[in-house]
Amino acid sequence: MKKTNNIILETSLKALLFFIVLYSVYIFTAGHYYPGGGFIGGLMTAGAIVLLLITYDIKTVQRILPVNYRIITAIGLLLAIGTSASSLLFHVPFLTHRFTHVELPVLGEISLHTATLFDLGVYFVVVGVTMTIIQTIGEDE
């Protein structure tokens, strides 16, 4: 099959991809205060990769992002369970979060929260799961 020349799509993707990924990271990090969180952030990131898949083919995307998404899922699960279980080390019940406010030189006052690590696990799992499903079905003949 002749490769179609979709230069407009490729070029616009180069501009758009950055914004989509940035937006997904924003949604993830802002989750504790504004609408968003790990789940929707993960879906957005996966959406960005799907856009890559649509523009290029599966092999090219695999070369750009040499990632095994099942391992991403596993990392996400480990992160979520590890965050939850680490509270046991401090003799508090499973899944007890701690937070603190820190004053940083440039960024000003920010809050650090172990729930973010848990949410990061959710984020990884969602990315891994969505991409595993889409990639597996896409590769199927």
Give the residues lining the site for another protein (CB under 8 A).
27, 31-40, 43-44, 47, 70, 73-74, 76-77, 80-81, 84, 94-95, 97, 99, 101, 111, 113, 115, 118-119, 121-122, 125-126, 128-130, 132-133, 136-137, 140
Nearer to another protein, 11 or 111 (CB): 111
Nearer to another protein, 64 or 133 (CB): 133
CA dist 106 → 14, 33, 103, 110 (Å): 30, 21, 9, 11
Nearer to another protein, 21 or 47 (CB): 47
Radius of gyration over alpha carbons of the chain, in Å? Answer: 18
